[in-house]
Structure 1
Amino acid sequence: MTSTVQIPGYIAGTWDIDASHSTVGFSVRHMMVSKVRGYFREFSGEIVTAANPADSTVTATVDLGSIDTRQEQRDAHIRSADFFDSENHPQMTFRSTAVRAEGADWLVDGELTIKGNTKPVTLALELNGFGPDAYGGTRAGFSARTEIARSEFGVDIQMPMDGGGVVVGDKIAVELEIEAVLRAA
């Protein structure tokens, strides 16, 4: 027996990510005592919500040169060959491979590519809603989270600290707040 998941207000269609109302952010352990947060200022993407939500797809591109951790010297270092090598690898991409319900939760499986290295990732997805906007259009909101190991993507600089530990942790918490606009038919 199969059951169809009901999502209040769900609308099937093709949506463009509204970067001015969305955030692609992250946090990473710093000096073993705190976390540094940052985000990317430039990104784009497309979400296709299918009649059956499990058939939906997501593609997104992030401009790695647009990193902002609120400290320009650190941002320049992260753009360098030590980390992203954004001159040779200007973009990070995500392409979904499956959307699935797990109980009341939604998961988006996909392939994340950084520095030419593609690895599987799973985003824990929260559907925030669908509805009209003030401009005669329709909007949808999504939150998603995952954790990746930067070393798996070739972002593997080691910066040990005297007395043990590292300056920058390997695990990166990725946090997305996405608002998307339904394309006109």
Structure 2
Amino acid sequence: MSATTITTTNLETGTWTIDPTHSAVAFSVRHLMVSKVRGNFDTFSGAITVDENGVPSVTAEIDVASINTGNEGRDGHIRSADFFEVEKYPTATFTSTAVKADGDDYLVDGDFNLHGVTRPITLKLEFNGVNPGMGNGPVAGFEASVVINRKDFGISIDMPLETGGSVVGDKITITLEIEAGKSA
């Protein structure tokens, strides 16, 4: 961890496991230069671990084959070698390297691996607090987002339009809505 890594007293020491039932990993991408296609990844896991000094770290894994845009044909194409190549690269992963304060919010630096390529990214994170939960221990809430360029991760299909531009944009916005429960 770098010298700028923050500590937090809002999360108890230990592991906070992402609850996929109450969380979402979503994305949006420009389509035909005028609208956005939105979708989710239905299968993912991860944890926030707070060490004895109050320093948090984050790990996450996404099953990229679980992509769901609400259109089976499009989802099949995205799973293919044109995009994710899920048979060769079944998961995307994130491992944090630093957490820094950014006003009332945070910046979470880390290594993101997608399509066999690892690049540093920075998630903009809002910490929504801790709730005592409903009898199963405390839960914490987070919202985070990042914009990546798909070509930086080797997803370089070009589908040009006759009038200029392309069918699928290069910039992908990833949005996380996370609820994590304190592990016993």
Fold shared, TM-score > 0.5 on shorter chain: yes
Quote how far apart the aligned CAs of 1:115 are: 1.3
Correspondences of 1:8-157 after superposition (within 5 Å): 9-50=10-51, 52-53=53-54, 55-157=55-157
Structure 1: give runs of 5+ residues left out of the alignment. Answer: none
Superimposed CA distance per residue, residues 39-64 of structure 1 (whole angstroms, 9 cap, x where no aligned partner): 100000011124555x2100000001
Q: Please give the root-mean-square deviation of Cα atoms over the aligned residues, in Å.
A: 1.7
Which residue type is aligned with residue 45 of structure 1? G
Correspondences of 1:155-170 after superposition (within 5 Å): 155-170=155-170
- Tell me the TM-score normalized by structure 1: 0.92
Which residue type is aligned with residue 12 of structure 2? I
Q: Secondary structure at the match of 1:113?
A: strand
Q: Secondary structure at the match of 1:85?
A: coil
Q: Secondary structure at the match of 1:175?
A: strand
Are the counterparts in 2 of residues 11 and 130 from structure 1 also a CA contact under 8 Å? no
The aligned residue for residue 3 of structure 2 is: none
Distance 1:17 1:148, change over 3 A: same
More displaced 10-residue stretch of structure 1: 94-103 or 27-36: 94-103
Which residue type is aligned with residue 157 of structure 2? I
Q: How many residues align?
A: 180
Superimposed CA distance per residue, residues 97-136 of structure 1 (whole angstroms, 9 cap, x where no aligned partner): 1011123221000000011100000000100111211123
- Tell me the TM-score normalized by structure 2: 0.92
Are the counterparts in 2 of residues 150 and 156 from structure 1 also a CA contact under 8 Å? yes
